[in-house]
Structure 1
Amino acid sequence: MLPEITQKLLAAKQEKGMSFVDLEKAVGRDEVWIAAVFYRQASASQAEAEKILSAIGLPTTLAPELTECPLKGLGPVVPTDPLIYRFYEIMQVYGMPLKSVIHEKFGDGIMSAIDFTLDVEKEEDPKGDRVKVIMSGKFLPYKKW
């Protein structure tokens, strides 16, 4: 079940006939980041929250709900939504190989999910359109002490 604020945001966005790309133009932030705010996986500043709410016609009195630090993640269960599950499956199959390749190229560390960008592109293909997901995160080496 989606949080009540998420339901309100999505309903208002649909009622206005807006896409996340439209909101990107109105707010000046990436469409994926704005979607993360909608789904309470990111927090907005007061000014960003007000821009989002104004763009979709909701009262700015809801801004505190968008500026709170959210509880992030899908929870402890395996996702059941087919699209989200595929990302889970990708990590199950390619997680260890990806980790090995990153360690070979960068050393012992992780890719930041804080200093991070995520872009989604549509690649037209005669055999069927393709989803291109581009993740870019700062490499953070583990400290030695």
Structure 2
Amino acid sequence: MNPPSLLPPLITTVRLAKKKQQLSWQDIADALGKPAPWTVSALYGQHPLDDSQVSIVCNLLQLPAESLNELTLAPYRCSLNIANDPTVYRFHEALEVYGPALKELIAEQFGDGIMSAINFTVDIERRPHEDGDRIVVTFDGKFLDYRWTV
């Protein structure tokens, strides 16, 4: 027996419409003039869209004009509780294993601070490799130093 979908109904609506229209995430991103990772995240409710962007997506996916208006609201950015998905879990695993090392290297190279996930971009690409293609994920975040203000 398959467990019920852990994704909110709005995400399932988008995914099914995308499949029906035979579009890629990159097709939708290109129509919005945005990067693909941002676009997917936005359509998963993690970034707000403006009315014109919602209109573009509705037209592309052939959804009723106001069916995605929820995506214009300020989002509650949080986990979708899909950490058991193998791909998402591997990201968690990679950060569990390498997170402390990355923190140490950031501190050594930049000082005491963090990488912003607000002033941030992410990119994904496929790189051919003799032992099987590689997934290259690039996180590009602004360095924010910890400091006392007076």
> 1:9-28 residue pairs with structure 2 within 5 A?
9-28=14-33
Structure 1 counterpart of 2:3: none
Asked if structure 1 preserves the Cα contact closer than 8 Å seen for 2:122 and 2:137, the reply is: yes
- Alignment gaps of 5+ in structure 1: none
Q: Percent identity?
A: 36
The TM-score normalised by the length of structure 2 is 0.90
Kindly provide the CA deviation profile for residues 42-99 of structure 1, in whole angstroms up to 9, marking residues without a partner as x: 2112222221221111122124211112222226x68111110011011111011000
Moved over 6 A (4+): none
The TM-score normalised by the length of structure 1 is 0.92
User: Which one has the bigger helix percentage?
Assistant: 1
Structure 2 counterpart of 1:107: 111
The amino acid that maps onto 1:21 is Q
Query: Number of residues paired by the alignment?
Result: 144
- Alignment gaps of 5+ in structure 2: 1-5
Asked if structure 2 preserves the Cα contact closer than 8 Å seen for 1:10 and 1:38, the reply is: no
